Amino acid sequence: MKKKKWISIVRIVLIATLLTFLFRSYLFASYVVNGKSMEPTLFDGNLLMVNKIVYDLKEIERFDVIVFHANKEEDYVKRVIGKPGDHVAYQDDMLYLNGESIEETYLEPYRNPDEGLLTNDFTLEELTGKTVVPEGKLFVLGDNRKKSYDSRKIGFIDQETVVGKVDIRYWPMEQMNFQFVK
């Protein structure tokens, strides 16, 4: 009887270990936010769960918060602003996508009329020499527009470098969040 009990326990532990490995390797990844470029949405030291398979099932959407490989050593967390074919511009602290003004409610905690513009004026052509986001590329910005190293400096990012979509902020517990404002 004891032998059957031990075999059952070992089987459960092996299955749990295998499932954990599969989930961590193929479905989800854990990331730590490093820096202030996504404040007030994400803060330095937040722990994130990144969905690695979502973009195998659907397209990347504007305003998704994503993790991507910035280089061989670093991954960045940013917000998707422009997709292929989009014309992106900022005028008087207002985002214009394809000529239409877009409200960015997630930036409201940072807006302060006494401090001037949150996002300086620009067009894609001024930054990149392109009038629209090229095929296979994304234009990304950090929510902390004054302190973010993003597409305004590094240019477009390749869609192939996207690790996944940030689905959950799970640490610290008091900041747990399952949905990010778009």
Tell me which of 6 and 74 has the higher pLDDT. 74
For residue 50, what are the domain limits?
28-175
Asked if residue 55 lies in contact with residue 163, where contact means CB atoms within 8 angstroms, the answer is no
DSSP SS3 for 172: coil
pLDDT on residue 114: 79
Confidence at residue 53, expressed as pLDDT on a 0 to 100 scale? 85
Q: Estimate the share of the chain in helix, then strand, then coil, as percent rounded to the nearest 5.
A: 30, 30, 40
Residue 28 clears pLDDT 70, i.e. is over it: yes
The answer to whether residue 20 is domain-embedded is no
From 52, 78, 83, 165, the catalytic residue: 78
Determine which one of 2, 36, 37, 146 is catalytic: 37
More confident residue, 18 or 90: 90
Between CA 133 and CA 87 the distance in angstroms is 7
- Report if residue 117 sits inside a domain: yes
| 34-38, 116-120, 129-133: the lowest-pLDDT one | 116-120
| pLDDT tops 60 at residue 17 | yes
User: Could you give the number of structural domains in the chain?
Assistant: 1
CA pair distance 137, 91, nearest whole angstrom = 23
In a domain, 7, yes or no: no
pLDDT computed for residue 130 by the predictor: 92
What is the per-residue pLDDT for 178? 58
Residue 144 lies in a domain: yes
Mean pLDDT over the full length of the chain:
86
| pLDDT-derived band at 6, boundaries 50, 70, 90 | confident
Q: What is the CATH number of the domain that holds 159?
A: 2.10.109.10
Q: What is the pLDDT of residue 14?
A: 74
Reported in sequence order, the residue ranges of 41-161 that DSSP labels E, i.e. its strands, are: 47-51, 65-69, 75-82, 88-91, 94-97, 100-102, 122-123, 137-141, 157-158
Is residue 165 part of the annotated active site? The answer reads no
Examine residue 42 and state whether it is found in any structural domain, yes or no.
yes
Residue 181 lies in a domain: no
- Whether residue 10 lies inside any domain: the answer is no
Task: Give the mean pLDDT of 67-96.
Answer: 95
6 in a structural domain? no
Burial string for 137-160 (b: 16+ CB within 10 Å, else e) reads bbbbbbbbbeebebbbeeebbebe
Mean pLDDT of the region 42-52: 89
DSSP symbol at 52: S
Is the bond preceding 172 in cis, omega lying within 30 degrees of 0?
yes
Per residue in 158-170, pLDDT (tens digit) is 999 999 999 877 7
Check if 3 is active-site.
Answer: no
